[in-house]
Chain A
Amino acid sequence: MKIKRLLSLLLVSALLLTVVGCRKTFTFDSNRDVVVTQNVYVEDTPATSSTASATSSNAGGQTSSTASSEKSDSTPAAPVKKQAEKKLSGKLSVQIFINENGVGEAAWTEILDEFEKANPDLALTTYIGTNVNSQLANTWLSGQNTPDLVLIDGKGLSETSLCASGSFLDLTDWYRNATVYGQNKRICDVVTTAALERYNGKLYKMPLMLNCYGLWYDQNLYRQQGIQIHRNFSEMLSNATAQKSAGTSALTYPGMYSNYLVWGTVMPAVAAYGQGFFDEISAGKNPKIYQDERLRSVLENLHSLGAAGYVSASATQDHLGAQSDWLNHRAALVSSGIWLEAEMKKSIPGVFDMRFTTAGLNLSGQKPGAVLMGVGVAISSHSKNAENAKTLVRYLYREDSLKKLALSYGYMTAAKQKLPVSAYKGSAKQIMQYLQGKDVNIVYKTRDWGNLGETFNSVANRIAQGKLSAADGCKELATAAGKNK
């Protein structure tokens, strides 16, 4: 009997200790490495400051903002004197999403390493990895212990929700006066102003690179089939007929995530009509615009492809399935972003000559559009180290930092001064040549269509499979836009 009691007491103690233990594990401490996935940069790094080290009372970027907040982005401000950078102290935490193939990780590691060396008294903690967004999601939801700076990229981090909830710091005024770290340049003079995406007129994300969706093809397959890559819809349709008889679908896409289809085919054709029309469509608010003849003609082109059976049965495919179809030449074009080569490096057959285009659903004689989207960083509005975070943003706008990031991701830099095409490797070279050429109509994604995205994806998926007419798709979009809050 005594043994039973003893055993009972032990079990109860174990239960209580487990509860206490669980409580401790759930508490997120930004300095603990519980959720740190790969690299942790903590204090006590050897102090070898390589950049500007002279002391200054001004931390840089925090210059007087008298009346400057009223100025437009392009209005030239008073000349800014070169400032020596004050060394940072205290803490700074950074959240960086990296995809499964580690694209961009080397560049981030190098840049943050250099920044840390320049600021030896700064305790820099980096949360970097593939699952970092989901691991830190609770901090953003609760508004507690959020990392000071976050790279807005990857799944699991809703830019729209976080902007709408005020979780990010409003950088609208700050960016106009902030200077590039250690350099005599203002960020607003460096960054492509058109690429600044605003939410309710406020700037939360500072773009570092520009991403673009489109269609990838294997030039060798086209050579084998004796056809040229299309420049518009009629050429695409005639290619599709030839390809079908050769046992290849014209297009494949991941239907499970049809935003690839929307941004790779529909939106470039919308962009072909210019920034104004693209902005109206991507704002997601005005129901009438979704009944516009121009959008309907784009969607009708997509429907023609699907109804004729030129599109793979991709409605429920994931991106790996779609890419596999494309790699096996079961489809000639795959809808994806310009990161595809970096992402699939290990799986691309040697015979592939990867090329990228944004042409597809655009009319004959119309330049294809290309939508450039900013990939950048935001600062948490809950951050206690916002000044340190701002300094890191300024550091990221250094020419060498931007260059490292753009080359590592294979993206276009968000700086006005574009990198020379020769600096890129592999298919990124062709992409930059294409995007910087005269045969494409560049527009920038500056709005967010919020909850309309889900409907747009669903509509495009069904149209591409020939299961929904363009007219009905437009009606569905108009109804959804009316409800979009």
Chain B
Amino acid sequence: MKNRIRMSRSRKAFLWVFGLPTFLIYSFVCVVPLFSSLRDSFTEWMGIAGTSKTWIGLSNYAELFRDPVFYTALKNDLVISFFKLILITSLALVFAVSLTRIKLTRPERAIYRYFLYLPTVLPIVVITIVWKFVFEQSGLYNTLMLKLDGRKVGDVVNMSSHIANHPVAVITFVAIWCGIGYSMIVLITAINNVSNELYEAAYLDGAGQLGQFFYVTLPSIMGQVRYIMVYIVSSTLASNMNLVLPMTNGQPGNASTVMGLYVYKYGLTADNGVSRVGYANAAAVVLMLISFILCYSLNRLINRGEEKKL
């Protein structure tokens, strides 16, 4: 016989009072725009009040899948997401373990944490300006190379711009640099919650630092690792544009464009001819679907791994 939890009337009222406004706000801010975006993706519309919204069926999607820039944007998004996923997760894990398991004095630990977390709190525009100063043709990197080669600084005009030549690589590097801090803090918190008794038991069983990491630390914080992996994938597709826009604006020749920027340029920028909000919505819907599929697949993959272990 099932035990039913009977809720008191006051508890029900309490849940209604708290749940309903949140649900309404969520619906208004997220669900309604989602459906209106889906509806608008089947129209030709400029996005300005008073202009006609013409139903054109799947034409926007057909045009989208014929556009080579769309595939470039998609490829760049996937490349950035993949490297962010692998490198942020592994580096954040290494840093988190180092800062918690290696014997450091408190000031040392604080300094390391501060410097590793700093990029997370810096405004994105500052980050892009700083790294542009490093990787542009006359930037710090080329200047240092010239000095190491013993050549004149004036020779910089004969050198190439690393951002222009390898825009996606530079963007990925910067994205990883500023993404490690948050994941590291999440993992540090998780590691600090692992009971010392487990480490002592592992030590008595003869496990070294590496053994303790694989048999105690990693299994204990797998929930948080899973969280940051899903977080990286879900946030990357939406946030890539924040870096790309001030860093390269998708240049040269759309080589560094990403889906967010693609949507933005068609739907929201006011400076590129007539805005096409219907078309931008079609691209946004595709981006949303890809984001959902990736997050869902990743979650399933990790969960399956966990189930097998059990």
By secondary structure, the B interface counts as loop
Digit string of A296-324 for contact with B (CB within 8 Å is 1, else 0)?
00000000000001001111111001001
B18 at the A interface (CB under 8 A): yes
Q: With A and B bound together, what is the CA distance between A326 and B158 in angstroms?
A: 15
Contact between chains at A313 and B161 (CB < 8 Å): yes
Contact between chains at A165 and B256 (CB < 8 Å): no
- In the assembled complex, which residues on chain B have CB atoms less than 8 Å from the CB atom of A160? 273-274
Min CB distance, A312 to chain B, in Å?
6
A123 at the B interface (CB under 8 A): no
Interface segment, one of B177-185, B219-227, B245-253:
B245-253
B50 at the A interface (CB under 8 A): yes
Most buried by B among A162, A313, A328, A449: A313
- In the assembled complex, which residues on chain B have CB atoms less than 8 Å from the CB atom of A16? 21
Name the residue on A nearest B132 (C-beta): A321
Q: With A and B bound together, what is the CA distance between A468 and B152 in angstroms?
A: 31
State which of B246, B253, B270 has its C-beta within 8 Å of the C-beta of A468: B253
B49 at the A interface (CB under 8 A): yes
Contact between chains at B252 and A247 (CB < 8 Å): no
Contact residues on A (Cβ < 8 Å of other chain), bracket = 35 or more
State which of A161, A312, A467 has its C-beta within 8 Å of the C-beta of B48: A161
Name the residue on B nearest A154 (C-beta): B271
Q: Which residues of B, 148-163, contact A by the 8 Å Cβ criterion?
A: 152, 154-161, 163
B204 at the A interface (CB under 8 A): no
Contact between chains at A312 and B273 (CB < 8 Å): no
Q: With A and B bound together, what is the CA distance between A248 and B156 in angstroms?
A: 9
Contact between chains at A158 and B275 (CB < 8 Å): yes
Contact residues on B (Cβ < 8 Å of other chain), bracket = 35 or more
Interface segment, one of A173-181, A349-357, A416-424, A450-458:
A450-458
Q: Which residues of A, 168-203, contact B by the 8 Å Cβ criterion?
A: none
- In the assembled complex, which residues on chain B have CB atoms less than 8 Å from the CB atom of A143? 48-50
Min CB distance, B207 to chain A, in Å?
46
Q: With A and B bound together, what is the CA distance between A83 and B269 in angstroms?
A: 44
- In the assembled complex, which residues on chain A have CB atoms less than 8 Å from the CB atom of B47? 141
Contact between chains at A141 and B157 (CB < 8 Å): no
Contact between chains at A465 and B274 (CB < 8 Å): no
Min CB distance, B15 to chain A, in Å?
11
Q: With A and B bound together, what is the CA distance between A164 and B253 in angstroms?
A: 27
- In the assembled complex, which residues on chain B have CB atoms less than 8 Å from the CB atom of A328? 138
Q: With A and B bound together, what is the CA distance between A325 and B139 in angstroms?
A: 11
B115 at the A interface (CB under 8 A): no
Q: With A and B bound together, what is the CA distance between A430 and B275 in angstroms?
A: 38
A459 at the B interface (CB under 8 A): yes
Name the residue on B nearest A473 (C-beta): B253
Assuming A256-B249, A462-B252, A465-B252, is B17 touching A144 (CB within 8 A)? no
Contact between chains at A8 and B18 (CB < 8 Å): yes
- In the assembled complex, which residues on chain A have CB atoms less than 8 Å from the CB atom of B105? none
Assuming A317-B136, A451-B274, A454-B272, is B248 touching A256 (CB within 8 A)? yes
Contact between chains at B14 and A8 (CB < 8 Å): yes
A41 at the B interface (CB under 8 A): no
Digit string of B243-271 for contact with A (CB within 8 Å is 1, else 0)?
00011110111101000000001000111
Q: With A and B bound together, what is the CA distance between A8 and B14 in angstroms?
A: 8
Min CB distance, B57 to chain A, in Å?
17
Q: With A and B bound together, what is the CA distance between A454 and B249 in angstroms?
A: 12
Min CB distance, B56 to chain A, in Å?
12
Q: With A and B bound together, what is the CA distance between A258 and B167 in angstroms?
A: 16
- In the assembled complex, which residues on chain B have CB atoms less than 8 Å from the CB atom of A449? 273
B46 at the A interface (CB under 8 A): yes
Contact between chains at A12 and B21 (CB < 8 Å): yes
Digit string of A98-129 for contact with B (CB within 8 Å is 1, else 0)?
00000000000000000000000000000000
A339 at the B interface (CB under 8 A): no
Digit string of A461-478 for contact with B (CB within 8 Å is 1, else 0)?
110010110000000000
B288 at the A interface (CB under 8 A): no
Contact between chains at A454 and B49 (CB < 8 Å): no
A344 at the B interface (CB under 8 A): no
Q: With A and B bound together, what is the CA distance between A195 and B246 in angstroms?
A: 34
Q: With A and B bound together, what is the CA distance between A115 and B291 in angstroms?
A: 55
**9 A-B pairs whose Cβ atoms sit less than 8 Å apart in the complex:** A137-B270, A142-B49, A144-B49, A158-B273, A161-B275, A165-B50, A313-B136, A458-B251, A468-B253
Give 13 A-B pairs besides A314-B161, A316-B256 with Cβ atoms closer than 8 angstroms: A19-B21, A155-B271, A158-B269, A158-B272, A162-B48, A256-B251, A315-B164, A317-B137, A325-B138, A331-B157, A467-B252, A468-B253, A485-B274
The list of the 7 closest CB pairs from A to B, nearest first, reads: A247-B154, A158-B270, A313-B161, A451-B273, A315-B252, A143-B49, A450-B273
- B residues contacting A by CB (< 8 A) are 14, 17-18, 21, 25, 46-51, 132, 136-138, 152, 154-161, 163-165, 167, 246-249, 251-254, 256, 265, 269-276
